[in-house]
Structure 1
């Protein structure tokens, strides 16, 4: 996202007084000429700079965006997220409360980069927000949609009682769990491991509270739990909690005893706990199923080195003890 999206000639305009003296349109007036009226009342104007793909952002979604907001005649934003490597995911109606921004986002698609002009009634009103935003200010927003998740279904489901949750179709629960896992994955990629853990655990609780009506439903529940346990195990490793990582790795193995990711996670946890023989056992079993897996083979070599060093230290300690005994 570059500057405030206006051309270099517009950026050179210094003040409203200079603009009036030249009898030329203001920067925002020039920008309006290439924008579309979103609502038909002139309150929200939009220019698509880069098209996105897929469906538009749904109502009640949670969005991951970069944005910058500008006043007219200013080439620096009064608010921006472009300096953040990982902007926070925001929920429409809760975290996104500016009317124009919320309505504008509903017109956008994943990957899209657009500019919006918001009239005061869709921005900060006739009062503005002194001293930063003057009265009756028109605001320019540059927005890029990085990703979004349809969290409305999750919100509705979580507000239900456990009894009500058990009355909805299993497919609805699985959709909710999938969205929660996606939230967790997004947090994990941003290294927000505590937040990721919370999302994963909430999803496992929702699945655990489900009263299954058949063996087929029970299998679907287990299938949904498996990746959550694997994600929790890895998250606990990132949080330096190998005991908990091992717990979730073993839960995954209870569902699928041959799962190489679960075996690998347990191997990692045992290594952190300095239980080298058990780490080797898990990794050798995983290696037998995926003999050319680089991660498994590298970790197995690391465990072997640590195990050998541990045995050498034990031998040295025993030798020292015997020398001390002989000396006495």
Structure 2
């Protein structure tokens, strides 16, 4: 960025006045950027980080940049953030907040202190996807450069507003891409992928990224309503790289397809058949993903839904058999593989899996027999010990009884002799 500074005498006078009376607007309060307002703005709001700001500075045409993104010298990021729309101010910028030791040839020498007169013409939020659907304004910048990706687990605080009325306020932990399961519109999922840890921002969502034509009766949101959310990204854990991460992301995508298709209604017979065909494919693909992720119960559930649409579906039967086999449900798995052979007698994989089921069942039964045999042996040994212990006690009791009887008899004889 270059500047045509004011004429030297005028510039020196203004710079001197600014150095004496200017307000220190640096976060560090090191007087690196000093400001004097020449003309107050006509609004109470200032631009936020990420906003596109439209400014005019002396000797130049209007200039546009994104605030707080490092597109201009640091002094401008700091100074313009303090301005109001329509405001004109002077900025005195030390080298460390301007071009530093490098300068900016040919007009800015090394270690130059710069003086600017700046007018803030307008500003607007950052259009995240350049379609006007999600506008972001950052209240507090986040840390680092990492963002959540689809499938990441995030913990956020959010507040939702419609027409100035707050309808939602909560702390929530969820997987990016599955916000709808928590009554969170898709626009929040999308925006989170652009946020950093600790960021606090305001999001303006158009109907497409909000609750759309369906609205949200639970919150009293009408169809095609525009929404405003304040969101703080408290923490996140990115989805793992590699195959497992890809399967997690695939689960999210297929889950969305299922959700959309299950909400379809009023379809013609032809459309209904097409919808069922897509739904069947989605359930089968979900089952495969859950198998890869070792979530076998969910895999069985997806296969059940697929077979509800097509009871003789070969892939559905086979994948349910695989899941049941891995859950040690050998007989149920064998039944599924046998049904696969009924549908397609040439399926060698199913025939091989039946042999595996039979082998596993035999091994399982033998293991059970050994366990029960050992158990019965232990029970028998315990009973024998108890019996032996009981026998010993009984013998001692008999001896005690006999001894008591003899003592009683002797006492009776002596008593008889005394009475003769």
User: TM-score range, shorter-chain basis?
Assistant: 0.3 to 0.5
Greater relative CO, 1 or 2 (CA 8 Å, sep 6+): 1
**Greater share of strand:** 2
Which TM-score applies when normalising by structure 1? 0.43
Structure with bigger gyration radius: 2
Q: Which has the higher helix share?
A: 1
Given the two structures, how large is their TM-score scaled by the length of structure 2?
0.34
